């Protein structure tokens, strides 16, 4: 019994050390996954679009059923990310906006008639 407890505690400590090293080496990946999980729980869809040789990620949130579909594009500035809009996306979608969070070069806004919020 003592051998089992000793072995289990050693394995647990090694797992904690490995998890700590992973979090230390990849802090943004861990934070991004936590944000994406939160957005997923709020029914915000993340997808990729192919732009030439690049794959670009964007978020999209639809308004509740029966709400008027008012398009709104959220564009982040240089040095920012789409995840920075995560606190606002579910709230704006609940107010009836059809939201898209994309980099500025991805979508020609002149043709959409969308409102534009710019965050730097």
Residue 105 has pLDDT above 70, yes or no: no
Cα 109 from Cα 88, distance rounded (Å): 20
Confirm whether 5 is domain-assigned.
no
Tokens standing for 9? 């505690």
- More confident site: 73 or 8: 8
Tell me if 59 sits within 8 A of 82, measured CB to CB: yes
How many structural domains is the chain composed of? 1
Q: Is the pTM of this model over 0.75?
A: no
Beta strands in 1-120 (DSSP E): 45-51, 54-61, 70-76, 97-102, 115-119
Confirm whether 26 is domain-assigned.
no
Q: What per-residue confidence (pLDDT) applies to 110? A: 45
CATH number at residue 51: 3.40.50.1820
Q: How confident is the model at residue 11 (pLDDT cuts 50, 70, 90)?
A: very high
Give the residue-averaged pLDDT of 105-114: 48
Question: What's the domain range around 56?
Answer: 42-119
Q: Which of 48, 24, 25, 20 is nearest to 36 (CA)?
A: 48
Q: How confident is the model at residue 103 (pLDDT cuts 50, 70, 90)?
A: low
Question: Look-up: residue for tokens 């789409």?
Answer: 82
């Amino acid at each position: 019994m003592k051998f089992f407890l000793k072995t289990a505690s050693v394995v647990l400590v090694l797992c904690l050390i490995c998890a700590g090293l992973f979090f230390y080496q990849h802090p943004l990946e861990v934070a991004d996954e936590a944000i994406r999980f939160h957005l997923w729980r709020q029914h915000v869809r993340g997808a990729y679009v192919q732009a030439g040789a690049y794959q670009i990620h964007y978020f999209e949130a639809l308004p509740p059923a029966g709400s008027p579909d008012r398009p709104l594009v959220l564009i982040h500035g240089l040095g920012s990310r789409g995840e920075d809009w995560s606190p606002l996306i579910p709230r704006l979608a609940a107010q009836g906006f059809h939201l898209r969070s994309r980099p500025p070069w991805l979508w020609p806004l002149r043709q959409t008639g969308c409102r534009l919020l710019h965050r730097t």
